[in-house]
Amino acid sequence: MPALAAVPCALPLDSGKISAGFPSPAADYEERRLDINTYLVRNPVSTFFFPVEGRSMEGAEIFDGDVLVVDRSISPRHGHIVVAFVNGERLVKRLYHRAGRVALVAENKAYTPIEIREGLELIVWGVAVGKFKRLPA
């Protein structure tokens, strides 16, 4: 799903951080606004959203049901989390590209890396730049 016509969506952003440990005093007012589009979408024409299915990227904090923000204008490099096609199958994995070796690596030890060898067609489609996650209400 493309992010073509990004309509501003400025939401309140407090300057105080939320404590995940002990409570801290918080401001009773908002100081600025956060536009989700400018925060996650650098290039609207080349940005797309993909729902994630599966558990192979849990070590990278990408979980089943998350929505990835993927930018096609970024040149993929070693270590990037990418959306790629291997023989036509769309995957999200970490790109490994060192010393002539190319692989797509899961962030879950239950999944083996996909070594890109002769006979496999690899198309790196875009680079993940963020994600959305809906919490249970």
- Asked if residue 18 belongs to a domain, the reply is no
- Asked if residue 59 belongs to a domain, the reply is yes
Q: Which long-range contacts (CB under 8 A, 24 or more apart) does 109-116 make?
A: 109/59, 110/55, 110/56, 111/56, 114/86, 116/86
- Asked if residue 1 belongs to a domain, the reply is no
Please indicate whether residue 133 is annotated as part of the active site. no
Annotated active-site residue in 56, 73, 75, 131? 56
Give yes or no for a contact between 96 and 103, defined as CB atoms under 8 angstroms apart.
Answer: yes
Task: Output the pLDDT for position 35.
Answer: 84
Please indicate whether residue 109 is annotated as part of the active site. no
Give yes or no for a contact between 42 and 36, defined as CB atoms under 8 angstroms apart.
Answer: no
Full residue range of the structural domain in which residue 126 is found:
25-132
Domain total in the chain? 1
Q: Tens of pLDDT along 28-87?
A: 545 677 788 888 888 889 999 999 999 999 999 999 999 999 999 999 999 999 999 999
Range of weakest confidence among 16-25, 57-66, 111-120: 16-25
CATH of the domain at 116: 2.10.109.10
